[in-house]
Amino acid sequence: MFSKQRVLYILAAAMCISSVLPLSFSPLSAQETMPVQDDSVNREDDEKKRPVFKMNTIVVTAEKRESDIREIPGSVSVVSDVQVDDYDIESTMDIVNMTPNLYITETGNALMTTFAAMRGITGSMSQIPAVGFYVDDVYYSSLDIGLFDVERIEVLRGPQGTLYGRNAEAGIINIVTKQPSDTWETSLRLDAGEYDTFDAKGSLSGPIIDDRLAFRAAFRYYDTDGYFKDRVSGADDVGSAESVDARFSLRSTPSDNLDLTLTYDLQRYDSPKYAHFAPLDGGDLRESITVDYPGETSKDADGAALRAEYRMGDVRLVSVTSGRGEDHFINNDIDFMPLDLMRLTVARDLTSWTQEFRVLSDTEDEPFQWLGGLFLLSEEDDRHYETWMNFMNMGMGMPGETLTQKSGTETFGIAFFGEASYRFNDRLKATLGMRYDREEKEFDYEQIPGGPVFAAMFGYPADAGSADDVFDAWLPKAALSYTFSDEVMSYVSVSRGFRSGGFNDKELMGVSFKPEFTWNYELGAKTSWLDGRLQVNAALFYIDWSDMQVEIMTEGGTSFWLDNAAKATSKGAELELFARPMTGLELIAGAAYTDASYDDYRRGPEVFDGKKVIDSPEFTLNLGGTYRFGGGFLVNAIYNHFGEIYYDPANTRSQENYGLLSAKIGYETEHLDVYFYGRNLFDKEYATRAFEVNDTWYGRAGEPRTFGVTVSGRL
């Protein structure tokens, strides 16, 4: 429940906001409260006026140029800034609530092992993603971040290798943040919830030199005691976490043709009691943790980027330069028992530099549109593992030992890409694209056993070495779209996806695994009905998946390595609906069905042919609505349902299908809003991740039913 200190703090903050802001308690109209979508417009028809509730054109940039979402020959979802606030999208984990056929396997607070699945194509705990994650055109290797000061979220399903290259074989998530403004803007949002959870977001933006230089600063602070409980010690703050996100941007327009944006961002995440996993069959997952050591995790990340755009006639030049550094640390009890038996410490230091040059046509009305580019990557990925085993507590009568494993991977990548489209007439349009992606990787490693048991009995002798390899791929794309009318467009497309290969860095150190590839075939339609008040988009897809990278667990389940061991197929359908049936009411819906199965996968005597691919739900469903009425009142709700998710390739254990309902009510004015919310109102118990260790299945509980209050103000 709320602590008195938290409640007093948020109420005091609310009074401070109301005292400094020039409040106007006249309620907002529908036009003001929902600025992203088109609002009711009065159209004169003979002698009468009737309301029309059309939705505005949604422009996205995930295809590396401004595009009308209705004209993109692919399956795209967009979450606006208004929807981000209405549906409380606080982190990347929450994007699944608004997007069909996207699922994120959450492993803990700010962990590098969190990964995403899309259309059955899954990532893994190896930190080689299948879904590309970008913030303002910059690639982030770590998916689990807080979201704040967001303009929109774009999700593209299907391979995006032509424009994005490696690790976008399933699709991409593209976060677009708010840019520096030419007028002064301030905002502050405070949230207090159960389990001593506090969340604060704020932003400040304005001009430094009118029409030439502007800045924007934004932050998020999050603190919680967590909802896990240790059955042994009785501690109820297991899972506690504290995080800070910040971003600072400068935008300069020295001339009408030149636009420069410099951005710096940081993340500081700390979870001093990371112990989230409990036996699946041991009762309430949230209260069944039994460990002798609560563990800890942390993440420190910094990034800087310079984006430059120059327009010269009918051509635009774009340059994006970025550098990122990420330090991850995990220290965890991996026997999950109250005895000190095994611990694993992981430290990862990742540094990357990227440079992309793009040149593209800048003539919207011309039938021929084109884009070409060059991408360069330099990356260093250093990893350090320490596995402690307490042989004395295991009854072996000898001291414990630590196995140390160190590795470093240096990657240099280069890619050339291009895409062109031609509109033959008002109805028929063709798109062709190609990318050549090449990565050179150098890998060095060292294995140091801490004693004779690791070396002789467990097969981890002293070892050191190096290896290198080159991974490259041609990634084509072709699409054909036909516009039947202003309300109906259909398309067919084929594209190839690619996930880079690499080297195992813990088990079978130095042994390489090959890239995996997908061919995606898609048929879709985008439609508008009822004079623009209803939009319905649908897609059918078939994916041929080869050289599949699979996690192979060690005996006992405490570690794994990657191998190319399977062929698979994924097929299914997606449906999205957006409606504005009346003033103040917005409805959204999304549904997806995915049949992802192994076609050829054998592990020793085990045959998994026909089994479902792990870590991907069979179907997803989201239904939501927001209604603004009565001069400032708001009612909002969203329901999400996830189909069965298998945890192992033999399909012996799974998370059965489950549904989550969240809702909130509030009152909004021009400068101040107050909301009361509830999440997981049915208090459904479910697992976000599960695995088997020493013949026992362990899982991580999802968020329980929680209630809270939010106060936000702006100028």
> Where is pLDDT greater, at 351 or 556?
351
Helix, strand or coil, per DSSP, at residue 212: coil
Domains, the chain: 4-55+182-714 (2.40.170.20)
Quick count: other Cβ atoms within 10 Å of Cβ 306?
Answer: 15
pTM: 0.90
Residue 12 pLDDT exceeds 50: no
Percent of the chain whose predicted confidence (pLDDT) is above 70: 92
In the structure, what pLDDT confidence band is assigned to residue 233 with cuts at 50, 70 and 90? confident
Mean pLDDT of 447-467: 93
Of 532, 432, 488, 419, which Cα lies nearest the Cα of 71?
488
Q: Which two tokens stand for residue 346?
A: 């992981």
Q: What pLDDT is attached to residue 110? A: 66
Q: Which two tokens stand for residue 473?
A: 């791929």
Q: How far apart are CA 418 and CA 235, in angstroms?
A: 56
3-state SS of 5-26 is HHHHHHHHHHHHHHHHCCCCCC
**Is 386 exposed, middle or buried (CB count within 10 Å of its CB: 0-12, 13-18, 19+)?**
middle
Of 70, 175, 156, which Cα lies nearest the Cα of 522?
156
Tell me: the pLDDT tens digits for 101-120?
999 998 877 677 788 999 99
Q: What are phi and psi of 220, to 5 degrees?
A: -145, 135
Query: Which of 76-80, 603-607, 705-709 is least confident?
Result: 603-607
In the structure, what pLDDT confidence band is assigned to residue 478 with cuts at 50, 70 and 90? very high
Contact at 8 Å (CB) between 339 and 304?
no
Residue 683 pLDDT exceeds 70: yes
C-alpha angle with apex 388: 385 to 389, nearest 5 degrees? 145
H or E stretch at 61 = none
Q: What are phi and psi of 408, to 5 degrees?
A: -145, 135
Q: What pLDDT is attached to residue 13? A: 43
Q: What pLDDT is attached to residue 31? A: 32
Most distant CA pair in the chain, distance:
96
Q: How far apart are CA 631 and CA 366, in angstroms?
A: 46
Going along 604-653, which residue ranges are E strands? Answer: 606-607, 619-629, 633-642, 645-646
Contact at 8 Å (CB) between 677 and 267?
no
Q: What pLDDT is attached to residue 24? A: 33
CA 425 from chain centre, in angstroms, equals 38
Q: Which two tokens stand for residue 433?
A: 């694209």
Residue 7 pLDDT exceeds 70: no
Number of H helices, E strands in the chain: 5, 42
From residue 326, give the alpha-carbon distance in Å to each of 133, 137, 142, 349: 15, 18, 9, 6
Quick count: other Cβ atoms within 10 Å of Cβ 456?
Answer: 11
Residue 3 pLDDT exceeds 70: no
As a whole number, the mean pLDDT across the chain is 89
Q: Which two tokens stand for residue 84?
A: 């981000």
Q: How far apart are CA 239 and CA 478, in angstroms?
A: 47
Q: Which two tokens stand for residue 369?
A: 């549109």
Q: What pLDDT is attached to residue 275? A: 86
Q: What pLDDT is attached to residue 678? A: 97
Mean pLDDT of 574-584: 95
Q: Which two tokens stand for residue 529?
A: 């009905």
Tell me: the pLDDT tens digits for 371-407?
999 999 999 999 999 999 999 988 888 889 999 999 9
Q: What pLDDT is attached to residue 14? A: 40
Helix, strand or coil, per DSSP, at residue 386: strand
Tell me: the pLDDT tens digits for 178-199?
999 999 999 999 999 999 999 9
Pairing label, strands 131-135, 171-177: parallel
Residue 604 pLDDT exceeds 90: no
Residue 32 pLDDT exceeds 50: no
H or E stretch at 55 = none
Q: How far apart are CA 248 and CA 208, in angstroms?
A: 14
Residue 22 pLDDT exceeds 50: no
Q: How far apart are CA 46 and CA 43, in angstroms?
A: 10
Residue 668 pLDDT exceeds 70: yes
Contact at 8 Å (CB) between 693 and 335?
yes
CA 424 from chain centre, in angstroms, equals 37
Mean pLDDT of 11-31: 36
H or E stretch at 548 = strand 534-553
H or E stretch at 541 = strand 534-553
Residue 673 pLDDT exceeds 70: yes
At 294, the amino acid letter reads P
